[in-house]
Amino acid sequence: MELINVQRLNGRIYPLLVGVFLGTLQTGLFLQLMFTYSSGFSTYLMMTLCWLVGSALGVSYAARWGVRTGIFLLAAMAAYLTCVGLLHLRPFDTRLWPVYAILIVTAGVYPGVFFARLSQTNRVASIFLWENNGFIVGLVAGTVLYMLIGRLALWIIPLLAALLLFRVTEVQPVTDQTS
Amino acid sequence: MTSQNLTASLPSTTLKNVGHLALSRVLHMPRLIVFLSGINLILVQWVLVREMTALLLGTELVVLLVTAAYFVGLSLGYVVANRMRRSWLKPIALATLGVHLGLPIWFRLLVAWFDSISAYWAAFVVLPLLTPFLISAFYSVFLPLFADNSEATLPQLYASEVMGSGAGVLVLVVLGAAGLPAVYLVYSLCLLAIVSALGLSWRWTSLAAVLCAIWLALLPEASARSNARWYEQLHELPRGTTTLLSTYSPYQKVDVLQDPQGQRYLYLDGLLHFGTASWSRLNVLMGSVPADLLHPQQSLVVGAGSMELERFIAERGGQVTTVELDPVVVEASSRYLSEYNRINELTNRTIVVDDAKHFMATTDQQFDLIATDVPAAFAIQTATLYSVPFYEQIAKRLSPDGVLVVNLTTRLRPDRMVSRRIMASLLATFTDVYVVTSESSRLSYAYVGNHLPFDSLQLSDALRQQGEQDFIIFERQAAEAIVGDARPITLDSMDLVLEISARWIGDRLQWN
């Protein structure tokens, strides 16, 4: 009985936390690129398309690799922090767009891996529901807290969410289900 | 019997059915449905955010509210995905098509009606509540439905949806500038393909396609009329006002209207950016006055708007550069407000489409006069244009005796936090400061630099020469006293945006 409750909790808390992490990560990326890279539409375009490419690669390929999900989470966090550092060191240097593009693709791989792996053990509707709820929380909290306490919020919240994520269940690589 | 013979021996009605079945087989692929849903989710989000942000008079919290409502709709779709009968999907899809294609029109008319019964506040409640049910929930049903019923694997479906989202973004890049009907054409085709894949009969699909085509032909006129109706109601423009331009740019909704007397108005995200007498006075105070004092050789105006400000500087000689993020604003202003900005006659002008922060950080040019004609700090993005880092960049681009002119967006008074915060940013960056509070425009303006080449008497004379009769000039000490303990705006102190945004919504909801 206790095991079932823990699993149920994990089936909600884990995707919820992932959603919070992704919501704050995207908010942080978007705002900081807007501040010290460019507010132009090309920035939005680069960020959106690269994130989507990363997710597609994650769900289609990376999820099958025998690498722990936590490593992809670390890679996403490292890519984010590298972006932030680069923006600080080389503000408004739009010649670096290929570097930012690669970093955003790297960050985008994690959600793809997460969805593919968790769908092996949980209902997809439930995963997407709780991840999306977490994303809304991350988006709203990231934006409001940024306005209240500044860029610290954009660094601390994803970091805290990532730390919490390391404490929840590790899911297995996807087995080949091609039909 | 060969396949040709077999085909030839079938009656014509059966031939049609074979064709339809073949098409259905191709279309009835979960991955295709999810791919098309990905496209349409991006397209409808684009329409929703632009339209609703303008209707609710966009601030940062409004954008956040609209975006959150859209994502709540996705959650709603996930909740009902496995509880919904498949047979419901076809009628819901057709209803979605009708609701979404009419979205800009009925949203505007609904909000105008709320305002007409003195209940504009209701728009802030009703629209975000309707959005999840009517806008985004439908498309999020498919992926979990197909995945949980093992009709395709999650990796296949998720990759399809992600690719659909990417395709949707590319559709906006390619067709966004062509306007709403072009985007809606793609949207309609995708949704018709979805209903066909769901098994809707060929006859009903054709009927829906014909109705879509008729509606898309009528859409420009319906959109123009509903847009004018909304402005007549919400902004009290005279009856008979017409829409000259209403379009979505990558950044905002851009509207140009003309009243029966021929006066033209420019609105960005539903907020007035040009069109009243006081707005023209703003351009005189920020353009003519400093240009008379400085006779600048090189001038820069941040933010295009009506570009009348640039006209007043360019008429006095020198080269005038405009830097504007949104090419649609430049196009709208050049095409519809040329009577005010004389863009076709004054050849000493250049327009650069770029983010002002990026432009300031990367240009090598020096300017004798810089004027910032940017929207108020309702959003984080615009607030950065009133921040210390931005003013520091400007200081580097000013010639030794150069002058920066800034609209403080309200009068500088102890009870006006916005103007005090902007002024605090300027005081933190520049040594020489004059603030002019003008009665004709009911606003305050800062004239700042590190070696201002004029004194308060010369400034006073220049103001009078430009017809300004009732004004107050504050020197640095007086400005500092009014600013008091107000903090400068930095990238880490944007609480001002939250405060303005919350107050703005509170006022609309009549809480204050």
Nearest chain A Cα distance for residue B132, angstroms: 13
Count of alpha carbons within 13 angstroms of residue B205, beta-carbon side: 18
Q: How confident is the model at residue B508 (pLDDT cuts 50, 70, 90)?
A: confident
Top residue of A129, A131, A140, A171 to mutate, by most chain B CBs within 10 Å, is: A129
pLDDT at A57: 96
Of the partner residues A94, A144, A179, the one whose CB lies closest to the CB of residue B358: A94
Q: How confident is the model at residue B28 (pLDDT cuts 50, 70, 90)?
A: low
Instruction: Examine the pLDDT at B4 and tell me if it is beyond 50.
Output: no
Q: Is A168 left (phi over 0), alpha (psi -120 to 50) or beta?
A: beta
Mean pLDDT, range B111-135, rounded to an integer: 92
> What single letter denotes the amino acid at residue B127?
L
Q: Which residues of B touch A49 (CB under 8 A)?
A: 166, 169
Sheet holding B264-268, edge to edge: B242-248, B253-258, B264-268, B271-274
pLDDT at B59: 86
Mean pLDDT, range B226-236, rounded to an integer: 96
Instruction: Examine the pLDDT at B20 and tell me if it is beyond 70.
Output: no
pLDDT at B2: 35
pLDDT at A10: 67
Of the partner residues A38, A53, A149, the one whose CB lies closest to the CB of residue B355: A38
> Phi and psi at residue A69, in whole multiples of 5°?
-60, -35
Terminal Cα-to-Cα distance of chain A (whole angstroms): 35
Instruction: Examine the pLDDT at B26 and tell me if it is beyond 80.
Output: no
Of the partner residues B67, B155, B354, the one whose CB lies closest to the CB of residue A60: B155
Q: What are the angstrom distances between the C-alpha of B495 and each of A68, A147, B253, B406?
A: 40, 5, 25, 21
Count of alpha carbons within 13 angstroms of residue A10, beta-carbon side: 16
Q: How far apart, in whole angstroms, are the C-alpha atoms of residue B314 and residue B396?
A: 23
> What single letter denotes the amino acid at residue B461?
D
CB–CB of B147 and A124 under 8 A?
A: yes
Instruction: Examine the pLDDT at B14 and tell me if it is beyond 50.
Output: no
pLDDT at A93: 94
Top residue of B63, B78, B500 to mutate, by most chain A CBs within 10 Å, is: B78
Instruction: Examine the pLDDT at B355 and tell me if it is beyond 50.
Output: yes
Q: How far apart, in whole angstroms, are the C-alpha atoms of residue B94 and residue B154?
A: 26
Dihedral angle at the C-alpha atoms of B48, B49, B52, B58, nearest 10 degrees? -170
pLDDT at B150: 85
Mean pLDDT, range A15-35, rounded to an integer: 96
Strand partners, B465: none
pTM beyond 0.80: the answer is yes
As given in the structure block, the two tokens for residue A112 are 């793809």
Instruction: Examine the pLDDT at B280 and tell me if it is beyond 90.
Output: no
Q: Is B412 left (phi over 0), alpha (psi -120 to 50) or beta?
A: beta
Residue A79's nearest CA partner among A109, A49, A59, A52 is: A109
Give me the interface pTM, i.e. the ipTM: 0.90
Task: Look over chain A and give the mean of its residue pLDDT values, rounded to a whole number.
Answer: 89
Q: Chain A: residue nearest B69 by CA?
A: A136
CB distance B409 to B471 below 8 Å: no
Give B288's DSSP letter: I
* Spacing of C-alpha B207 from chain mean position: 35
pLDDT at A87: 96
Instruction: Examine the pLDDT at A21 and tell me if it is beyond 70.
Output: yes
CB distance B368 to B302 below 8 Å: no
Q: What are the angstrom distances between the C-alpha of B147 and each of A119, A125, B189, B319?
A: 9, 8, 24, 62
Give B270's DSSP letter: T
Tally Cβ neighbours within 10 Å of residue B87: 9
Q: Which residues of A touch B143 (CB under 8 A)?
A: 124, 128
Instruction: Examine the pLDDT at B511 and tell me if it is beyond 90.
Output: no
pLDDT at B7: 34
Mean pLDDT, range B107-126, rounded to an integer: 93
Taking only the tens place, the pLDDT of each residue in B476-506 is: 999 999 999 999 999 999 999 999 888 888 8
Q: What percent of chain B has pLDDT over 90?
A: 80
Rg (CA), chain A: 16
Query: Of A45-49, B6-10, B101-105, which gets the smallest average pLDDT?
Result: B6-10
Instruction: Examine the pLDDT at B437 and tell me if it is beyond 80.
Output: yes
DSSP 3-state helix, strand, coil percentages of chain A (rounded to 5)? 80, 0, 20
Instruction: Examine the pLDDT at B6 and tell me if it is beyond 50.
Output: no
Q: How far apart, in whole angstroms, are the C-alpha atoms of residue A66 and residue B17?
A: 49
pLDDT at B89: 93
CB distance A102 to A57 below 8 Å: no
Taking only the tens place, the pLDDT of each residue in A39-65 is: 999 999 999 999 999 999 999 999 999
Q: Which residues of B touch A179 (CB under 8 A)?
A: 152-153
pLDDT at A4: 43
Tell me the pairing of strands B298-302 and B319-324.
parallel
Q: How far apart, in whole angstroms, are the C-alpha atoms of residue A24 and residue A76?
A: 12
Nearest chain A Cα distance for residue B337, angstroms: 24
CB distance B143 to B157 below 8 Å: yes
Q: How confident is the model at residue B85 (pLDDT cuts 50, 70, 90)?
A: confident
Q: How confident is the model at residue A173 (pLDDT cuts 50, 70, 90)?
A: low
Taking only the tens place, the pLDDT of each residue in B160-192 is: 999 999 999 999 999 988 889 999 999 999 999
> What single letter denotes the amino acid at residue A2?
E
CB–CB of A150 and B494 under 8 A?
A: yes
Top residue of A39, A148, A156 to mutate, by most chain B CBs within 10 Å, is: A39
Taking only the tens place, the pLDDT of each residue in A149-158 is: 999 999 999 9
Residue A69's nearest CA partner among A59, A82, A79, A84 is: A59
* Spacing of C-alpha B311 from chain mean position: 25
Taking only the tens place, the pLDDT of each residue in B34-57 is: 999 999 999 999 999 999 999 987
Q: What is the 3-state secondary structure (H, E, C) of B186-231?
A: HHHHHHHHHHHHCCCCHHHHHHHHHHHHHHHHHHHHHHHHHHHHHH
CB–CB of B71 and A132 under 8 A?
A: yes
Q: Which residues of A touch B421 (CB under 8 A)?
A: none
Query: Of A75-79, B67-71, B83-87, B188-192, which gets the smallest average pLDDT?
Result: B83-87
Instruction: Examine the pLDDT at A9 and tell me if it is beyond 90.
Output: no
Mean pLDDT, range B362-379, rounded to an integer: 93
Task: Look over chain B and give the mean of its residue pLDDT values, rounded to a whole number.
Answer: 91
Residue A169's nearest CA partner among A22, A69, A76 is: A69
Residue B80's nearest CA partner among B30, B36, B142, B33 is: B142
Instruction: Examine the pLDDT at A2 and tell me if it is beyond 90.
Output: no
Q: How confident is the model at residue B123 (pLDDT cuts 50, 70, 90)?
A: very high
pLDDT at B509: 75
Query: Of A56-65, A169-178, B63-72, B145-154, which gets the smallest average pLDDT?
Result: A169-178
Q: What percent of chain B has pLDDT over 70?
A: 94
CB distance B376 to B418 below 8 Å: yes
CB distance B432 to B501 below 8 Å: no
pLDDT at B504: 83
As given in the structure block, the two tokens for residue B259 are 């009243």
Taken as a whole, chain A contains a residue count of 179
CB–CB of B325 and A39 under 8 A?
A: yes
Nearest chain A Cα distance for residue B121, angstroms: 22
Taking only the tens place, the pLDDT of each residue in B190-203 is: 999 999 998 889 99
CB distance B365 to A16 below 8 Å: no
Query: Helix, strand or coil for residue B356?
Result: helix
Query: Helix, strand or coil for residue B119?
Result: coil
CB distance B361 to A45 below 8 Å: no
CB distance B429 to B388 below 8 Å: yes
Mean pLDDT, range B212-229, rounded to an integer: 96
At which residue do the structure tokens 């998720």 appear? B158
Q: How far apart, in whole angstroms, are the C-alpha atoms of residue A168 and residue B51?
A: 41
